[in-house]
Amino acid sequence: MFLSKRVLNTQASPIRKLVPYAEMAKKAGKKVYHLNIGQPDMEPPKAFFEGIKKYTPSIIYYSHSAGLYELREAFSKHYKSKGIDFEPEDLVITTGGSEAVIFAIACVADPEDEIMVIEPFYANYRGFAEMLNVRLCPVRANPRDGYSIPAWDELEKAYNKKVKAIIFSNPSNPTGTVYSYEEIKRIVDFAKEKNIFVISDEVYSGIIFDGKKHVSIMNFEDQERFIFLDSISKEYNTCGARIGVLGTKNKRFLEEVMKFAQSRLCPPLIEQCGTLGLLYDLEKDYTDNLIIEYQNRRDVAYNEIKCIEGAIFQKPNGAFYMSIELPIDDSEEFVKWTLTEFDVDGETVMVAPLTGFYATPGAGKKEIRIAYVLNTQELKKACNILKEAVYSYNYAYSKEK
């Protein structure tokens, strides 16, 4: 008996694989502040639960494989209110944003084909690609210029004839960067020249700060090469509900992706009904208040992290992540050390090493990602503990030398 090369070559989640170290720290009596995972701590809207009560039928049946038509219609109206002209027939409801990513990659690339990716990227892109025997072709963004979209010549250097699409998230997970119109246009123009698809993950488009505006891929022409991805997980604090959206104007693509949708039968019915509640009945001030709260948390984290001597990072404009280059030798070893050998009065912090958010071997070794999903008081304390951890880690390492 043997296991497939596919599973053996798939990386463990860079976020979740270190959880056993956190569990050991807790068993040892330490309090762990979790900045490692994008799990919002705020309550989801009551409209979601009311939607389940209001719209769930008496029989829990298989919905249409593309999702309830009423839900696709509601999403269509929602997107049109944001200037994105999707009809219900342009949309497929998926089991979380993850399934939307898998469907998109599987529909445009064969095994051994490649997908260009702006790195650092959402770590699970790599896992999904490995699941499908598709390779990632990375082009690196630089922390010193705010992880902006690389210049045209950098895109050109990374490209090869096996590339079938380029994927990115906007706002970015893990950096919090919100891309400008000019940056997105650079990707659009590059994809047009190379005749490849653009897969735009816009899951965090509802969480943007400082009065900035989100620029959707669907705001550009040549829409048949665009694949739009979304989810209710973050903007509505419903990560476990597992409702995502795939949208495109490419009718041939939709016909083919429906084969995957039909193979898994349908997205979950009860969660679709809850999402109807979000789209029909949610008070407008919910999202407004959410943005204010995350911007406050962003500001607290930024002000504390900038006190870490040698840290290189920019203030993020969206999502709830911040990527930071620290003056350390190995971010994964640093995370393990904070959980096994370090504490401040019985408390420590867990962050995510950024190595797993890169496809380039050895990249990200000095970088971490924090998710500012704690309340401001706990967040401030956690960032101060992180500052002490960097100092203590380097002191302990220098003594070993």
CATH number assigned to the domain comprising residue 360: 3.90.1150.10
Of 257, 281, 305, the one marking the end of a domain is 281
Give the residue from 243, 259, 281 where a domain finishes: 281
pLDDT at 87 over 70: yes
Distance separating alpha carbons of residues 52 and 60, to the nearest angstrom: 12
Structure tokens at 14: 């860079």
Choose one of 252, 281, 310: the last residue of a domain: 281
Q: Residue 16: is its pLDDT beyond 90? A: no
Q: Rounded distance, CA 136 to CA 167, Å?
A: 10
Answer yes or no: do 318 and 275 share one domain: no
**pLDDT at residue 396 is higher than 80:** no
Q: What is the pLDDT of residues 284-297, one digit of tens each?
A: 899 999 999 999 99
Beta strands in 129-187 (DSSP E): 135-140, 163-169
Both 166 and 94 in one domain: the answer is yes
User: 315 and 219, same structural domain?
Assistant: no
C-alpha dihedral sign at 81, 85, 89, 93: negative
Write the pLDDT tens digit of every residue in 320-350: 999 999 999 999 999 999 999 999 999 999 9
Amino acid, res. 401? K
Q: Does 297 share its domain with 340?
A: yes
CA-angle at 157, arms to 151 and 159, nearest 5°: 105
pLDDT reported for residue 12: 77
Whether 257 and 377 share a structural domain: no
100 with 240, same domain: the answer is yes
Residues 132, 9 share a domain: no
**Which pTM value belongs to this model?**
0.96
User: Both 25 and 76 in a single domain?
Assistant: no
Q: What is the CA radius of gyration of the chain?
A: 21
Backbone conformation region of residue 374, classed left if phi is above 0, alpha if psi is from -120 to 50, else beta = beta
Q: Give the single-character DSSP code of 312.
A: B
Q: How many CB atoms lie within 10 A of CB 135?
A: 18
Question: Are residue 240 and residue 324 in the same domain, yes or no?
Answer: no
pLDDT of residue 6: 85
Identify whether residues 212 and 235 lie together within a single domain: yes
How many folded domains does the chain comprise? 2
Say which CATH number the domain at 262 has: 3.40.640.10
Which residue, among 212, 244, 283, has the nearest Cα to 101 in the 3D structure? 244
Which tokens hold the place of 158?
Answer: 């990374």
Nearest-angstrom CA–CA distance, 351 and 342: 14
- Which domain range does residue 343 map to? 5-42+285-400
Question: CB–CB of 229/101 below 8 Å?
Answer: yes
- Same domain? For 308 and 166 the reply is no
Q: What's at 139, amino acid-wise? A: V
Residue 262 shares a structural domain with residue 310: no
User: Which residue in 169, 186, 183 sits closest to 230, CA to CA?
Assistant: 169
Question: d(Cα 131, Cα 151) in Å, to the nearest integer?
Answer: 30
For the cut 80, the answer to whether the pLDDT of residue 400 exceeds it is no
Q: Is the pLDDT of residue 3 over 70?
A: yes
Task: Tell the residue number behind the tokens 């056993």, with chain if given.
Answer: 20
Is the model's pLDDT at 11 over the cut of 90? no
**Whole-angstrom distance, CA of residue 71 vs CA of residue 269:** 11
**DSSP 3-state assignment of 166?**
strand
